[in-house]
Amino acid sequence: MYSEKVMDHFSNPRNVGEIENADGVGEVGNASCGDIMKIFLKVDNGIITDVKFKTFGCGAAIATSSMVTEMALGKTIAEALVLTNAAVAEALDGLPAQKMHCSNLAADALHEAIKDYQERHPNA
């Protein structure tokens, strides 16, 4: 049911964990199934220099969390803000139709973390 990429990111997720004193933290819950994703950011000169995640969710949710952190790392805030759920799903070679909503968590949590960063650093 899942692509090889999904299985890879599920079995060896990148960037699992938390960041002490993160510059931005985003947490979202999935309205469809009740799962939770949390993303931590370190930002330097407008560039995402570190990103970590924690996820309570299905295999697709874990794989998309992993993928979105990989995609966001090294990007500018502006670039990361335009990362979409669809782009994350595509980078994983697609998700089964009933699992598309899981990818919403990933980009939403990233965007929430960026929003938190921007609120905390209004002059950045």
Partner 1 sequence: MNHIYLDNNATTPVRPEVLTAMLPYFSEQFGNPSSVHWAGRQVSGALEKARAQVATLINASPAEIVFVSCGSEGDNMAILGTLDALGDKGKHIITTAVEHPAVLNTCKYLEKRGYSVTYLPVDQDGMLDLVELEAAITPETVLISIMWANNETGTLFPIAEIGAIAKKHQVRFHCDAVQAVGKVPVDVQAANVDFLVISGHKLGAPKGIGAIYIRRGTKLTPLLHGGHQERNRRAGTHNVPSIVGLGLACELAGQEMAEKSVQIKALRDRLEAGLFAAVPQIKLNGHPTARLPNTLNVSFAWIEGESLLMSLDMKGIAASSGSACTSGSLEPSHVLGAMCVEVTLAHSSTRFSLGANNTEAEIDYVIEILPPIVQRLRDMSPLYNCRDRETCTVGCESLQKL
Residue 102 among the catalytic residues: yes
| 35: its two tokens | 């799962």
Partner from ligand FES, partner 1, none contacting 36, C-beta within 5 to 8 A by type: partner 1
Instruction: Using CB under 8 A, list all residues that contact partner 1.
Output: 2, 7, 10-11, 13, 16, 25, 27, 29, 32-38, 54-59, 61-62, 98, 101-102
Report which of 63, 65, 83 is spatially closest to residue 18, judged by C-alpha positions: 65
Partner from ligand FES, partner 1, none contacting 38, C-beta within 5 to 8 A by type: partner 1
Q: How far is the CB of 61 from partner 1 (least distance, A)?
A: 8
What does the alpha-carbon distance between residue 112 and residue 124 come to, in Å, rounded to a whole number?
17
Residue 33 among the catalytic residues: yes
Q: How far is the CB of 111 from ligand FES (least distance, A)?
A: 17
* Selected range binding ligand FES among 5-13, 15-23, 55-63, 76-84, rule: CB under 6 A: 55-63
Could you write out the three-class secondary structure of the chain? Answer: CCCHHHHHHHHCCCCECCCCCCCEEEEEECCCCCCEEEEEEEEECCEEEEEEEEEECCHHHHHHHHHHHHHHCCCEHHHHHCCCHHHHHHHCCCCCHHHHHHHHHHHHHHHHHHHHHHHHCCCC
The catalytic position among 17, 31, 32, 33 is 33
Asked if 58 interacts with ligand FES (CB under 6 A), we say yes
Query: Which residues are tagged catalytic?
Result: 33, 102
Residues making contact with ligand FES (CB under 6 A): 30, 33, 35, 57-58, 60-61, 99, 102
